[in-house]
Chain A
Amino acid sequence: MELEKHIENISSVLYKWFHSENTGLKRAIEKTVDEGFFSFPDIKHQILTLKQATKHNQLLKWAEKSGLRKDSLKDKNIVCLHAGNLPLVGFQDVLSVILTGGNYYGKISRKDPYLLPAFLDFYSQLESNCKIEWKLDLDQLNVTQADALLFAGSLESAAQVKSILKKSGAISDDTPSLMRTAHFSVAYITNNHPETMRDLTEAVFRYGGAGCRSVAIVVAPFHLNAEKCSFTDYVEEFWLHNPQHAKPDASLYHRFAFNKVMNIEQAWLDHYLIEEHLSKPAKKFILRWVKGDKGTLDQVTRTFGDGIQSVYSTEEYIGSYSGDLIIEPLSSAQTPPIWWKPDQIDTIRWLQVNAGF
Chain B
Amino acid sequence: MSGNDWLSTIFNSSLPFVDRLSDVFDYQIQNNLIYREYCSVFGISQSSDIQPDSIPLLPIRAFQMRKIYAADKDPELIFKSSGTTGMQQSTHYVADAAMYRTAIANGFYEHFPQDDYSILCYMPGYTENPHSSLIWMASFLIQNDASGLSKFLENSDNLDKWIDEVINHGKKPVLFSAAFGLLDLIDEIKVLNGHRLEIIETGGMKTHRRELSKKDLRNMLSEGFGVDHRAIHSEYGMCELLSQMYAIGDEWFTAPHWLKVSIRNPKNPAEICKPGEEGKIGIIDLANVFSCPFFLTDDKGVMDDTGRFQVLGRWNSDNLRGCNFLIDRD
A: residues with CB less than 8 A from B are 81, 83-85, 89, 107, 109-111, 138, 151-154, 156-157, 160-161, 180-184, 210-212, 216, 249-251, 254, 256-258, 260-263, 280-284, 307, 309
Contact = CB atoms under 8 A, between A and B. Distances in A.
A294 B56 CA distance: 40
Contacts of B148: none
B173 to A, nearest CB: 39
Given A85-B322, A251-B269, A282-B317, A153 B327 contact: yes
Given A153-B323, A157-B325, A160-B328, A283 B317 contact: yes
A161 B327 CA distance: 8
Contacts of B210: none
A249 B326 contact: no
Contacts of A211: 322-323
A261 B322 contact: no
Contact of B268 (A85, A249, A282, A284): A249
B266 to A, nearest CB: 6
A187 B327 CA distance: 27
A153 B330 contact: no
Contact of A216 (B65, B321, B324): B321
Contacts, number: 116
18 contacts: A81-B327, A83-B323, A85-B326, A89-B323, A109-B326, A152-B323, A154-B319, A183-B318, A184-B321, A184-B322, A211-B323, A249-B267, A250-B270, A251-B268, A254-B268, A254-B269, A254-B270, A261-B34
A357 B59 CA distance: 54
Contacts of B62: 258, 261-262
Contacts of A151: 327
Interface string B298-330: 000000000000000000111111111111111
B287 to A, nearest CB: 22
Interface in B36-91: 37-38, 41-42, 56, 58-59, 62, 65-66
Nearest to A216: B321
A146 to B, nearest CB: 16
A85 B266 CA distance: 20
A48 to B, nearest CB: 21
Interface residues on B, range: 20 to 34
A283 B325 contact: no
Contact of A250 (B267, B317, B325, B328): B267
A282 B41 CA distance: 24
A3 to B, nearest CB: 30
Nearest to A86: B323
B116 to A, nearest CB: 43
Contact of B327 (A157, A212, A284, A309): A157
A251 B267 contact: yes
Q: Determine which residue in B266, B325, B326, B328 has the highest number of CB atoms from chain A within 10 A of its CB, and name it.
A: B326
Contacts of B324: 152-154, 157, 181, 183
Given A83-B326, A109-B326, 4 more contacts: A89-B323, A212-B323, A257-B42, A261-B41
A80 to B, nearest CB: 11
